[in-house]
Amino acid sequence: MGQTAWGWLIAIYLFLGGLGAGSFLMAAFFELSGWRYRSKFCPVALVGATVSGPLVALGSLLLIFDLGAGRMQPWRILYMFTHFSSVMTWGIYILSIFIPLALVYGFLELMESEPWLKGFVAARLPWLLRNGRTYRRWVAAVGSVFAVATAVYTGVLISDVGPAIPLWSQPVLPFVRIPMLPILFFISAISTGMGLTFDISATIADPEIQRRFRIMDLSHILLIGLENIAIGLLFISALSSGGSAAESARIVLYGPLAVVFWVGVVLVGLAFPFVVHAYAIGRGQHSLASGVGSGVGIVIAGLLLRYMIVYAGIPAAL
């Protein structure tokens, strides 16, 4: 099909980078807007903060696992910090700042809700617990910058191959030379983060939460709309630019990747959540199943989107 150098490990890495970043952004948004403090227990902030670090770290491990010599001789990974014209070098810096920040953020959340940890912190680091909110605010604010960077970077990484893989480097519009993939991956990062922390985790922890944050339904509709536009533009531009880009579009739209795209991405990740959330706006609330279901759909579709893009990357014809 497409290029063969990068496969599903890279696809999962791109997905986890987005999911972790999106989850962090959700938690940080709840923290900075004060929504986290509307109730005693905020599952969105807790889950978002605690899973983001491990998710992105897991993704990075997969990336390392995909390396050749760098896996056999791990010290070589240090060389990856040295070349600033490479987006991968940027990514290594972004990840090595974001992961620790996210882990700290997770700790700051856990210490509030985990009684054992809370006791431990109260005994050893009372100042930390006393000013917990202040520290969380700071970590959330600074971390958000790196979370955005992480999510955007996953798209820039593969769009930066330029003419080699025309699908990946399709511009937003013919006259706007910014590539579409970073934007698409960023939108998907927020969606999947929201799906994981709100639709899935918060709904399970507290089904009532849907009623309190009805704005989430609206946000999902908005993001689904944006993602639709981004995917639509990507394939229109790929088809109209001909050559390998059009070939990529064809294998996605009615070739070997059509099932992944139409069923996995469009039906499960866009249409179904759209119906669920549009219906919920009318009705004021979800059922537990529809909330969790749409979240699971969005997250799975996020993974399949990365998979599809990676495998649809057909090299330029010679």
Residues that bind another protein (CB under 8 A): 3, 5-6, 25, 29, 33, 66-72, 76-77, 79-90, 92, 145, 148-149, 151-152, 156, 158, 160-165, 177-179, 182-183, 186, 190, 215, 218-219, 222, 313, 315-316, 318
Task: Give least dist CB 305 to another protein, A.
Answer: 17
Task: Give least dist CB 259 to another protein, A.
Answer: 25
Question: For residue 171, what are the β-bridge partners?
Answer: 179
Nearer to another protein, 129 or 159 (CB): 159
Task: Give least dist CB 254 to another protein, A.
Answer: 25
Nearer to another protein, 119 or 162 (CB): 162
Residues 171, 181 contacting (CB under 8 angstroms): no
Kindly give the interhelix angle for 215-241 and 243-253, rounded to the nearest 10 degrees: 130
Nearer to another protein, 76 or 130 (CB): 76
Nearer to another protein, 107 or 192 (CB): 192
Task: Give least dist CB 4 to another protein, A.
Answer: 9
Interacting residues of 120 by C-beta distance below 8 A, sequence separation 6+: none
50's enclosing H/E stretch is helix 43-66
Nearer to another protein, 88 or 267 (CB): 88
3-class secondary-structure state, position 67: coil
Alpha-carbon span 27 to 50, nearest angstrom: 9
Nearer to another protein, 79 or 120 (CB): 79
149's enclosing H/E stretch is helix 132-159
Kindly give the interhelix angle for 288-311 and 272-283, rounded to the nearest 10 degrees: 150
Task: Give least dist CB 200 to another protein, A.
Answer: 21
Task: Give least dist CB 74 to another protein, A.
Answer: 9
122's enclosing H/E stretch is helix 115-124
Nearer to another protein, 38 or 130 (CB): 38
Residues 230, 187 contacting (CB under 8 angstroms): yes
Task: Give least dist CB 156 to another protein, A.
Answer: 5
Tokens linked to 186: 């960023």
Interacting residues of 64 by C-beta distance below 8 A, sequence separation 6+: 70, 71, 74, 77
Q: How many CB atoms lie within 10 A of CB 283?
A: 11
